[in-house]
A and B are shown apart, each in its own frame.
Chain A
Amino acid sequence: MLHVLTLAFIFFTAHANQIKPRLVQIPGGELKPFWIAPTDITGEQEKIRIPPFHAMNLPVTNSEYVDFVRANPKWRKSKIKRIFADPSYLEQFASDLRLKKEIHPRAPVTYVSWFAARAYCESHGLRLPSLAEWEYLGAASETKADASEDPDYLARLIEWYNKPPGSGPVPPVGRGKPNYYGLYDLHGLIWEWIEDFNSSLISGESRTNGSIERELVCAAGSLAGGNKENYPAFMRFAFRSSLKGTSTIRNLGFRCVKGERNE
């Protein structure tokens, strides 16, 4: 009985609320970098100016990715070069162009490497968002453009980061509420690739406190952490620093943006 109800519910929501993928215009603005970032000589952490750009309202889905590999055989599961992706690339695919039975076509595509995500965006005349752009989008709650210091918002994010991972398939995109800009699933469903994932000069080791070793790293300024009470930002930072360009992970996907490259 319960089962039938659940099914009916899924059926209903899938049809009533299916969000169409589109590019959303994002107004420019400023971002206070709260991840660990290079600072200028004075140690001041300046705000980063974000020019206007466009962003996908949804992460790229499995079915969209199937279309991509159909047109670009190089990126198929059987053809991918090891230097571009780990062996678990497209683990949710049964074969080059088919998903496994239990995988939802509208679930975000995961088990994709940075190289593959990039190639996807490029094939659509788009690109991956930069770290600053993603954090700018991710700072928005449902009602505020910048909720990065809103304790309730941070607590909700922590709840997601801390939720049991579960081993079932990843749910479809567009189920939650859109954020201030009208974007879905920036938090709560998957992690997302960014263009400059490899820009963090200190490891995800928590205790280096922004100090860097001159022998290992060449930099004019020093590196400093921002708000130490923003655990979600630190978790994203640690997550990114654990990645290689080839990493393919069960809950790591991507969305693309349009606009002049901005790092």
Chain B
Amino acid sequence: MLRPSSVGDFKTKAILAISLLITGCPKSDKIIGEEVAKLTAPPEVPPPITRKHNTKVIVHLEVLEKRMKIADGVDYTFWTFGGTVPGSFIRIKEGDLVEFHLSNHPTSKMPHNIDLHAVTGPGGGASASMTAPGRETIFSFKALNHGLFVYHCAAAPIGMHVGNGMYGLILVEPKEGLPKVDREHYVMQGDFYTKGKYGEQGYQPFSMEKAIEEKPTYVLFNGSVGALNGDKALPAKVGETVRLYVGNGGPNLTSSFHLIGEIFEKVYVEGGTSVNRNLATTTVPAGGAAIVEFKIDVPGTYIMVDHAILRAFNKGALGMIKAEGPEDKIIYSGLISERVYLPEGGALPKTPEAEVRIAKSLEERIRMGQTIYEQNCTACHQADGRGVPHAFPPLANSDFLNADKTRAIGIVKGGLSGPIVVNGESYNGVMPALSLTDEEVANVLTYVYSAWGNSKQTVTPEEAAKVKPSGVVGIGQ
């Protein structure tokens, strides 16, 4: 993270030294020298500011309209600050004078501008920065207040500009700097509105209707499904204190930001000065931010979610922090044992059974199976059967599934836990037993086998009836 100071740094230091000789002590808000801000793409954060004085900071930010992946097999045209969603991270110091250069690439279709919430003045810079394609606008402002602020495009129609990803974070460090931590990362949530439904393949245009109705197709951290998952999980080590700069671009939703299995020891609430302690979930409003800090005590994968939880499991608002290091069974034991529980008085009385519909043809079996799948399976295995990398195994094109129909029936009836290998990837999770009738088991499996390049085997209720539930603990052990 830390870099050796550059020549420019040296120059300003020299000037500072000379001015110190002359004035005796640094005037707190005197602007000394100038430097070009180093911006970073998410999830990187520029290094902490080490200079003690204020300077003129020149920021160059370029607007690019570009087609990028929003989910596997799904493309979307993002409008970006700096080529990424969220846009480049800007880091300055309270009292700095910022000369802001906003350029709009000549290939852009739209004019854009920028409203930085760190700016004091009407429009926050937006009215001074309306920039046509192939042009650049320049304005300046003084960073009067410290904090973590959102910046965004405010050109008409603003909902579309923000909805296409035109936002990012600017950190104005307090004069004395922020306390030192071991790692810093940049995470920003946003909601997206596409014409097709979640996961619908191919190029997907923006949907004005869904945006106005505030019905997002995707809710994402850092601009795409899985941007912070698997290999792209944020790294950390046991014993380290991690600071996340969390933003929410919106345009519509407020985030209930939560890191599963961690407690934020410190939260700079909504990115401001007041610090709250020991929160598990913190609110990040649309157009707002929060700084959260936590110490990693136990290794493992920590999942960050918007705890409005359907957004995490159905719309993509899920990211990961992978912590390496020694275990500590006192702080967290993991599973110690698991056994059968029989309450006194026996099982619950049975509710009268609804009329059972029986599939009359293969087509009908598949159709009914799809409904069961959508109600019971999509949360984990996803609507497209691709699962979630490193968390939930795929059913699409699955060697594990196609190899053994009987095993599959057993798993649907009885659940599954323990390590398995699917398409060369290993998984170690828990699938609960589903309380389905034999008819329903046959339908859902026949649907799954008929979809996504699977083997097209059929499963009949009779076959389903013959197979015993696999038992929660079992396979692979």
Chain A residues engaging chain B, CB cutoff 8 angstroms: 86, 88, 151, 154-155, 158-159, 161-167, 191, 203-207, 229, 231, 234-235, 237-239, 241-244, 247-251
Q: Do A242 and B123 have beta carbons less than 8 Å apart?
A: no
Q: Which residue of A lies closest to B123 (CB)?
A: A205
| Chain B contacts with A in 123-172, Cβ cutoff 8 A | 123, 126-127, 130-135, 154-161, 164
Q: Would you give the shortest CB distance from B326 to chain A, in whole angstroms?
A: 48
| Complex interface: chain B residues within 8 A of A251 (CB) | 109, 133
In-complex Cβ contact of B77 among A163, A241, A242 (8 A): A163
Say whether, besides A88-B106, A162-B206, A204 and B156 are in contact (CB < 8 Å): yes
| Complex interface: chain A residues within 8 A of B208 (CB) | 154-155, 158, 229, 231
Q: Do A249 and B132 have beta carbons less than 8 Å apart?
A: yes
In-complex Cβ contact of B130 among A151, A205, A229 (8 A): A205
| Complex interface: chain B residues within 8 A of A161 (CB) | 109-110
Q: Would you give the shortest CB distance from B452 to chain A, in whole angstroms?
A: 28
Q: Would you give the shortest CB distance from A37 to chain B, in whole angstroms?
A: 14
Say whether, besides A162-B205, A207-B158, A238 and B110 are in contact (CB < 8 Å): yes
A205 to B111 CA separation, bound complex (whole angstroms): 10
| Chain B contacts with A in 193-227, Cβ cutoff 8 A | 195, 205-209, 212
Q: Do A242 and B132 have beta carbons less than 8 Å apart?
A: yes
Say whether, besides A158-B206, A206-B161, A88 and B156 are in contact (CB < 8 Å): no
Q: Do A203 and B130 have beta carbons less than 8 Å apart?
A: yes
A162 to B157 CA separation, bound complex (whole angstroms): 12
| Chain B contacts with A in 207-251, Cβ cutoff 8 A | 207-209, 212
What are 6 pairs between A and B in contact, CB < 8 Å?
A155-B207, A155-B209, A164-B77, A203-B130, A238-B155, A239-B111
Q: Which residue of B lies closest to A251 (CB)?
A: B109
| Complex interface: chain B residues within 8 A of A167 (CB) | 107
| Complex interface: chain B residues within 8 A of A204 (CB) | 111, 113, 130, 155-156
Q: Would you give the shortest CB distance from B145 to chain A, in whole angstroms?
A: 21
In-complex Cβ contact of A234 among B67, B154, B157, B207 (8 A): B157
Say whether, besides A165-B65, A249-B132, A237 and B109 are in contact (CB < 8 Å): no
Q: Do A250 and B107 have beta carbons less than 8 Å apart?
A: yes
User: 1/0 per residue B310-354: CB within 8 Å of A?
Assistant: 000000000000000000000000000000000000000000000
The 8 closest A-B CB pairs, nearest first, are A242-B111, A206-B158, A238-B156, A234-B157, A164-B67, A242-B132, A206-B156, A159-B205
New A-B contacts (20) at CB < 8 Å, excluding given A154-B208, A203-B130: A155-B208, A155-B209, A158-B208, A162-B160, A164-B65, A203-B127, A204-B113, A205-B127, A205-B156, A206-B155, A206-B161, A207-B158, A234-B157, A239-B110, A242-B130, A242-B132, A242-B155, A243-B111, A244-B132, A250-B133
A248 to B135 CA separation, bound complex (whole angstroms): 10
Q: Do B195 and A241 have beta carbons less than 8 Å apart?
A: no
Q: Do B109 and A165 have beta carbons less than 8 Å apart?
A: yes
| Complex interface: chain B residues within 8 A of A163 (CB) | 77, 109, 205
Residue picked from A206, A234, A243, most chain B C-beta under 10 Å: A206
A165 to B63 CA separation, bound complex (whole angstroms): 13
Say whether, besides A161-B110, A166-B107, A242-B111, A249 and B156 are in contact (CB < 8 Å): no
In-complex Cβ contact of B157 among A155, A164, A238, A241 (8 A): A238
B450 at the binding interface (Cβ < 8 Å): no
Say whether, besides A158-B205, A247-B135, A231 and B157 are in contact (CB < 8 Å): yes
A150 to B110 CA separation, bound complex (whole angstroms): 23
Q: Would you give the shortest CB distance from B147 to chain A, in whole angstroms?
A: 21
| Complex interface: chain A residues within 8 A of B458 (CB) | none
| Complex interface: chain B residues within 8 A of A244 (CB) | 132
| Complex interface: chain B residues within 8 A of A88 (CB) | 106, 134
| Complex interface: chain A residues within 8 A of B135 (CB) | 247
In-complex Cβ contact of A250 among B106, B110, B209 (8 A): B106
A248 to B206 CA separation, bound complex (whole angstroms): 27
Q: Do A235 and B154 have beta carbons less than 8 Å apart?
A: no
| Complex interface: chain A residues within 8 A of B132 (CB) | 239, 242-244, 247, 249
B27 at the binding interface (Cβ < 8 Å): no
| Complex interface: chain B residues within 8 A of A238 (CB) | 110-111, 130, 155-157
Q: Which residue of A lies closest to B209 (CB)?
A: A151
Q: Would you give the shortest CB distance from B336 to chain A, in whole angstroms?
A: 53
Residue picked from A204, A231, A244, most chain B C-beta under 10 Å: A204
B108 at the binding interface (Cβ < 8 Å): yes
| Complex interface: chain A residues within 8 A of B65 (CB) | 164-165
Q: Which residue of B lies closest to A206 (CB)?
A: B158
B66 at the binding interface (Cβ < 8 Å): yes
In-complex Cβ contact of B108 among A154, A165, A203, A235 (8 A): A165
A249 to B134 CA separation, bound complex (whole angstroms): 7
A176 to B119 CA separation, bound complex (whole angstroms): 45
Q: Which residue of B lies closest to A233 (CB)?
A: B157
A140 to B302 CA separation, bound complex (whole angstroms): 54
| Complex interface: chain B residues within 8 A of A243 (CB) | 111, 132
Q: Do A165 and B156 have beta carbons less than 8 Å apart?
A: no
A164 to B206 CA separation, bound complex (whole angstroms): 12
Q: Would you give the shortest CB distance from B149 to chain A, in whole angstroms?
A: 17
A207 to B161 CA separation, bound complex (whole angstroms): 12
| Complex interface: chain A residues within 8 A of B123 (CB) | 205
Q: Which residue of A lies closest to B157 (CB)?
A: A234
A167 to B64 CA separation, bound complex (whole angstroms): 12
A229 to B207 CA separation, bound complex (whole angstroms): 12
A231 to B212 CA separation, bound complex (whole angstroms): 10
User: 1/0 per residue B421-434: CB within 8 Å of A?
Assistant: 00000000000000
Q: Do A205 and B107 have beta carbons less than 8 Å apart?
A: no
Q: Which residue of A lies closest to B111 (CB)?
A: A242
A248 to B134 CA separation, bound complex (whole angstroms): 8
| Complex interface: chain B residues within 8 A of A241 (CB) | 111, 130, 156
| Complex interface: chain A residues within 8 A of B106 (CB) | 88, 249-250
Q: Do A231 and B111 have beta carbons less than 8 Å apart?
A: no
| Complex interface: chain A residues within 8 A of B160 (CB) | 158, 162, 231, 235
